[in-house]
Each structure stands twice: as structure tokens, then as C-alpha cells.
Amino acid sequence: MSYYYEYELGKAAKILCEELFKLKPGETFVITADTESDDRVVDATARAAFACDAKPMVIYTASPWARLLKFLLPYKPYSNSPQPWLQSSALLPQELPCRYCLG
């Protein structure tokens, strides 16, 4: 049984790894996700990285408490510099100083 948009997700993950990140064989690819992330997106990206002969490293963290307060407190970005890893998080992309964000 296939999931909703499973084939499209696989193609998007392949494009992400091959064309955007241009992963090389043996390169370590770090994927960070929180407990509210969609596991299917994280797994599809790790599979695509492994298909490129890269070494995917998936790091799960607890969902941040700041997410609960984001509508109550004014937001100011911590940094404008992009980071070289992929962040799959329940937070909105404009809240994260990452180069590529999957929400």
C-alpha cells in the first residue's frame, strides 16, 4: 500500500540530494528533525542520500518549547547566516537559519 504522495516524495528527495546538495560518495549527510516532523519525509531523504552513496545521519530531538510561545512573543531571528545541514522541523522555514528547510 502506498502512502499519500509517496512517489512524488521519493522524486523530490532524489532531486534534493542529487541536484541541490550534490552529494558525493562517502560524504556524511546530516538530517536533523524534531519529534513533530513527518518521519516519511526524513526517511525518504535519508534513502535518497544513501542511494547517492552518501552516509545519512538522522538526528531526532525533542520539539522546542519556543514553538508553543511563537504566537505570544515577538520573533527576532538569531542569525542570518545559512547552515550547511537539512532541517526537517515543525517550525516554519522563516524561523530557522538553515539553508534548506522541510516543514
Reported as a single tens digit per residue, the pLDDT across 25-72 is 999 998 988 888 899 999 999 999 999 999 999 988 887 766 665 555
The residue range of the domain holding 55 is 26-71+80-102
- Is 3 part of a structural domain of the chain? no
Is the full-model pTM beyond 0.85? no
Say which residues have a Cβ less than 8 Å from residue 3's Cβ, sequence separation at least 6: 40
- Is 17 part of a structural domain of the chain? no
Half-sphere exposure of 68 (CA within 13 A, CB side): 4
- Is 95 part of a structural domain of the chain? yes
